Structure 1
Amino acid sequence: MRTALIWGGLTLALLVPLGAAALSPLLAWRDPIYIMAGFAGVIGLGLMLVQPLLALGLLPGLSAPRARRIHGWVGASLLAAVLLHVAGLWITSPPDVIDALTFSSPTPFSLWGVLAMWGIFATAGLAASWRHLHLHPKLWRRAHLSLAVLITGGTIAHALLIDGTMELLTKLALCGLVALAVAKALHSRWGPQRPKTGS
């Protein structure tokens, strides 16, 4: 029963915002590439909820090695979603993307979105090369979690400041869940530890 509730709740948390976005009246006058870019962003936000749950082993039925593998696949999917999001916006409005990438855009949501994007790129680069860089696993985990905080904060600020594809209430709910999941990961890694007992 617990397994069904967890997986069912996660499925609803991911699909309801997508369904609400699909019904948005703001999409009526948009071209297909812009709509694709918007939905890539929504999917990316949803994947950010899945990542800490996998890292913490909170999804029942998954062994630790399997959860780590899926965590890597979801990370790659998140990178792909970001690239689709940016590419679609570039095709529909190159000047806006250039302004965002050069931090000269007058819209604050662009700044936060670009910061989150670079955080994702940095995470992907570290994930691909940390063994070649001979990083200690503990240092890698701390860097990874620090970047996750940047990515999460930037993405949530980006999503909340922009009036775009997502419906407001489901956007607030999904952003809140992502923030809670990352906060749980932070507490698990850096929070106060229980004292060890023994003779």
Structure 2
Amino acid sequence: MKGGRFLIWPALAVAVGVPIALAATSEQLAWRGPVYILAGFAGIIALALVLVQPLLIGGVLPGLSAYRNRRVHHWIGGVLAFAGVIHVGGLWFTSPPDMIDALTFSSPTPFSPFGVIAMWAIFAVALLAGLRRRLGLRLRTWRIVHIPLAIVIVVCGVVHCLLIEGTMETISKAALCALVLAATGKVMVDLWRKRVLRGGELST
């Protein structure tokens, strides 16, 4: 059983690697400039990182201690924020008017508002994580703030991705988005159950 758990790593590699590899073979790349391509792949990588985050916090990935899970989760959060900057910055560089419309929620494209909301939620989590000690946020308070923002990131990020008809292949994109939702949902349910059990133990 323990040996079977390590199959999670190659499964994760396939879940992340296949959509990226298929996007790299997209015919649409021939019509895009290097900055636009970089911005697009930064968004794809960001979605892949969103899948990894709940797996880390839920202790699903084998071979990592609880402390290592938290540390890697923290650092990947920073990389996720950086990927968001590259994604938005690259799109701004290639088409400032479109980005202004998106940031002001006046874009005609249906995927834009979801992407902007996810972006601000990512930046908010990264900022609060960096200032957590200075603000004196306790673990309970941090979770009350972080968990709703994480849900916003996941839901809006997935909807944003699914609505875009871009370089990502349809089936692999849908599968990756489904895995992101499933992993996040499982971890949220597990955390809720642990909290209920702890409450029951304290009350007895």
TM-score class, shorter: over 0.9
Unaligned runs of 5+ in 1: none
Equivalent residue for 1:47, pick from 40, 46, 49: 49
1:162 corresponds in structure 2 to 164
1:30 corresponds in structure 2 to 32
Aligned 8 A contact 2:6 2:62 in 1: no
Unaligned runs of 5+ in 2: none
**What secondary structure sits across from 2:121 in the alignment?**
helix
Provide TM-score, normalisation by structure 1. Answer: 0.95
2:146 corresponds in structure 1 to 144
Q: Letter of the aligned partner of 1:169 in structure 2?
A: I
1:86 corresponds in structure 2 to 88
Whichever structure has more helix as a proportion of its residues is: 2
1:61 corresponds in structure 2 to 63
What's the CA shift for 1:190? Answer: 2.4
Aligned 8 A contact 2:51 2:183 in 1: yes
Which deviates more from structure 2 when the two are superposed, residues 132-141 or residues 41-50?
132-141
Equivalent residue for 2:187, pick from 182, 185, 188: 185
Aligned 8 A contact 1:48 1:178 in 2: yes
Which deviates more from structure 2 when the two are superposed, residues 181-190 or residues 168-177?
181-190
Aligned 8 A contact 1:40 1:82 in 2: yes
Moved over 3 A (4+): 191-197
Equivalent residue for 1:103, pick from 89, 98, 105: 105
Q: Deviations over 1:20-41 (max 9, x none)?
A: 1011111111111111111000
Q: Letter of the aligned partner of 2:25 in structure 1?
A: L
Equivalent residue for 2:131, pick from 117, 129, 145: 129
Aligned 8 A contact 1:39 1:165 in 2: no
Aligned equivalents of 1:66 and 1:191: distance in 2?
23
What's the CA shift for 1:135? Answer: 1.9
Provide TM-score, normalisation by structure 2. Answer: 0.93
